[in-house]
Amino acid sequence: MVLTEQDIKRLINECVLRVLEARGALDDRMKGLAWLIIRRLEAGEKEFVIAQKELAKYYPYQHMPDSLNVAVVDLFRQYTGKKAAYSIETNTIKIDITYTYFLTDPRYAGRTKHELFEVLMHELTHFVNHCEAQEDVDKLPRPMKMSADEPSKTAKRILYLFDKGEMNARATEFKWEIHGSYNLGKLSDYDKITRLSSMRELIDTVKNDTQPSDDQPLSVVEVLLQSRGHRKMQIHGNERYLNPSESDFEKAKMAIVKKLTRAYNEFYQKLSKIYYDEANKGN
C-alpha cells in the first residue's frame, strides 16, 4: 500500500485529535492567549494580529504558527446565533460584535468576560487542531452543498455535532464552564455546551430512518452516504454513485448508527472525566 501526501496528513490530523481527546480538553497554558484577546478587545481593538513572538508565550504544542488573526464582526446576525468562529482559510478567530458592547458596560463586563473566555477556548481548540495537523487549506476536501430539505438539515447537524474537532472544542468549553464552580450542576445541566441530548436524538433519527421511494427526496442515511462519497471523490478522484438496495440501505444505516453511538459514548466518557476531575479538585 502506497500512502499519498493527503493520506499522511489525515493520519497526522487523527493523531492530533487523539492527543486532545486523551487530555480531555485544550492545554491549560492556552488560557493565557484567551485572556490576551479579551484584554485587547476591552482596550477597544476590533481587528488585530497576534504575532508569533507573542503566541510563543502561550502555545505549548509542536507546530508554532506564524500568527493568529482576530476580528470583531456581526456574526450573530450572519450565522443565526453564532458567538464566535475560527476560519481555517484566513486563520482568524471571529468574535461577535455584541461582546464588545457588554465588555464596556460595568453591569455586564464580569459575566461577559467569563462567557467570552469559554467561547474563545472553544475556538482556540479549532486553531490548535488546524496548526498541529499542518493542513494545506487549498487541498482540504470541501463540504458537499446540501439542499434545504429536512433530511439534509439533519445530516448537516450530524456531520457538525459528531465531528471530532468540534467535540474536542465543546469539551474544552465545558471544562472552563465548570472550572472552579462553587455550585456544580449535573452533567445534563450543561447540555447547551455539550449538546449530548441533541446527539442522542440524532442517533435515534438515523435508527428510525427509512429508505424513500424514487420520487421522494434522499433520506438522512442517503445524504450521509452521498456526503461521504463526495469527500472521497475529492481525495481519491473516484466518482461514487448512490443507489443502495434495500439490504444495502439497512446495512449502511446500522453501520452509521454504530459509528455515531461509539462517538457519543467516547465523548460522554471524556466529559464525565472532566466533570469528575473538576468536582474532586482539592479533595
Tell the residue number behind the cell numbers 455539550, with chain if given: 194
- Classify strands 84-87 and 67-73 as parallel, antiparallel or unpaired: unpaired
Q: Average the pLDDT over each of 53-67, 124-138, 156-170, 210-224 and give the range with the smallest value.
A: 124-138
What average pLDDT does the chain have? 84
- pLDDT score of 234 more than 50: no
The domain locations on the chain are 24-139, 150-279
* DSSP 8-state secondary structure symbol assigned to residue 66: S
Q: Given this model, what pLDDT does residue 217 score? A: 82
Q: Given this model, what pLDDT does residue 29 score? A: 86
**Alpha-carbon span 48 to 156, nearest angstrom:** 32
Residues 142-152 have pLDDT tens digits of 666 777 789 99
| Residue 37, all three cell numbers | 484577546
| Residue 157, all three cell numbers | 447537524
